[in-house]
Amino acid sequence: MIACTAQNEMAVTGQSMIRAALIIHCLFACMLLSANVSALIVSVGTDFESITLGPGLHYLVEPENVINVSEIMDHTGWKEVSTPQASFGFRDKAYWLRFAVENPQNKPEDLLIELSNNYLDSINLYVLDEEKQVIAHQQSGDSIPYRLRPIAHAQNLHPVTLPAKARITIVIRVQSSSALSIPVQIWDRQAFTTYDFTRTVGLGIFFGLMIIFSLYHLVVAALTRDSSALYYAIFIFSFLMIFSYRKGIPPSILPEAAIPSMETANVFGISLVGFSLCLFTSRILLLKDAAPALARLMLIAGSLALLPLFASRYIDYSLLIRISLGYSLIIIVLFATVIIKRIRDRYPPARHMVIASIFGIIGGGSGILAALDILPVTLTVQTLIYVCNAVMALFLALTISYRINMDRQLIEEAQRKHTHELDELVRRRTEELESVNAQLHVVSITDGLTQLYNRRYFDETFRTEYNRAFREKQPLSVLLMDIDHFKKLNDTHGHAFGDLCLKTAAEVVQSQLRRPLDVAARYGGEEFVVLLPDTDTQGACHIAENIRRELKATVVHHNGKPVNMTISAGVSGEIPVARDQHEALLKRADDCLYEAKRNGRDRVETES
């Protein structure tokens, strides 16, 4: 009896447990169904501008069998995003997202759905009405040509018009070989236009600064042959390539056939960044002399950074980019280690690189961590990346300038220390050379016998003074003189006596000139010429007559016998009325000289 009672009680208890389990399963199923039905709802009211979707956004890993959107909506595997944005790391499968948008206003609302990750290969956006029927389908992403996107824009934009007092459901399918980070933002179209203008201006300033840094240091490298400036330019160029593709700029401004693919550019940029950073650091910190082992390590690390360029044909991009990003973190750690080492060595440029290193590690590390899905790709993170990289580029440029200035100072100090005697010797030799040059110049313009100016100097001075007289409308006169019967004197008393007569005549001519601008020269043989600036014909005749009388009164002795000389002179003068007519003036003086000879010599003739 007791046994039967016990068995009945156990049966009742078992049935109660079964009923409880059924109730729990039903409740759990109801929760799942409720979760499947009630997706995240965004209300766009009167003051709506934008919203970034994160917690509450539904996502689903695409099932093995390919199904349509209606079946996707009814699938039981939907889950909620709990992070600030939908981010799933590197995944081979596609992911689905869904959310609802309602418009409580009495007017339609023009919206834009932005997915601001340009590394997403394929984006399919479906718009469903309240009956869960597909009313629109749009495609974008890296694999979709720019011209085929819903809106011709650098970002992945999808226009949606939401009728008044209506609700729609947005379902998005995303697939990518890169990290599957899916920042979803809903914009009022007018608000996006304002925001996009500000963002474009900011990016323009950022890229403009970076391009200036790169081109300037290319010029510096060409002029100074400083390899650190060249590696810096490559480093900045590589950063620009990565960032420009991240922002979707090349596909939006260049022909599709003229640009490499996103995958190729990304691997190329990351590889060059690692390579140039290693070699730049080694060169700017002079590791070859200060730490040869570290210099070799940096060279090896930089060379290994280029391997993805050659392996891209043989390794899947998804795996290759993960390897490249992971290796970039190693390079950053190595970079920091080298900086610390050189700071301990008290090397001045290392101290100046500390600020650049801090911003570079923050900016570069944040970018890599975001790409590896460790950090969320929020607007704050992106702004941090760009600002830090710009500041890093600026301080690296300042480091190069400091290092170049320091090298120049060291060279100058060494030159001052070791070349003082050489400078003194050069100074003495220079003074001697200047003295010799001065003497040579005097010799080149002086007649060796009479010590008057020679004809070449007279010709040059005559042309210059004539043109000056023309400009200033001042008179200019010329005396052309010839020793009378000089050939007879030379033949009678010998050439030595003739030379003495020429020197005596030259001394007499020079003695009658009082002004610095007056020029006396030996014109040739026994002829002399005198140039008289700012002197009219009357004044020139007076000077010529003084020379004639003085020479006639001068006695030259030969073998104890006195010998007298006379001269004939022709005078011509004018205020020039045209340039470069000096030859005509000299010709008239020569005609007057011949007139003096025809009229008996020992006289001065001038123009009538």
Give the residue numbers annotated as catalytic, written as ranges. Answer: 526
Q: Please, what is the Cα angle at 43 between 41 and 49, to 5 degrees?
A: 125
Which residues does 596 contact at the CB level (< 8 Å), separation at least 6?
568, 569, 570, 603, 604, 605
User: Rounded to whole angstroms, how far apart are CA atoms 150 and 125?
Assistant: 10
**260, 265, 257: which is closest to 239 by C-alpha?**
265
Q: Give residues with Cβ within 8 angstroms of 394, minimum separation 6.
A: 209, 213, 356
Instruction: Using DSSP, state whether 180 is helix, strand or coil.
Output: strand
Question: Which of 376, 379, 381 shows the shortest CA–CA distance to 87?
Answer: 376
CA 570 to chain centre: 70
The torsion angles phi and psi of 182, rounded to 5 degrees, stand at: -125, 80
> What is the spatial distance between Cα 349 and Cα 354, in angstroms, rounded to a whole number?
9
CA distances from 195 to 150, 183, 380 (A): 19, 16, 15
Q: At 343, is the secondary structure helix, strand, or coil? A: helix
Ordered alpha helix ranges (H), 419-524: 420-445, 455-472, 486-493, 495-511
Backbone angles phi, psi at 179, to 5 degrees: -60, 135
Could you tell me which residues come within 8 angstroms of residue 303 by beta carbon, excluding any fewer than 6 positions away? 275
| 3-class DSSP assignment, residue 145 | coil
How far apart are the C-alpha atoms of 497 and 495, rounded to whole Å?
5
DSSP state of 62: P
Give the whole-angstrom CA distance, residue 37 versus residue 34.
5
Residues constituting the chain: 608
Please name which of 505, 506, 504, 532 lies closest in space to residue 518, comparing C-alpha atoms: 532
Q: What are phi and psi of 187, to 5 degrees?
A: -125, 140
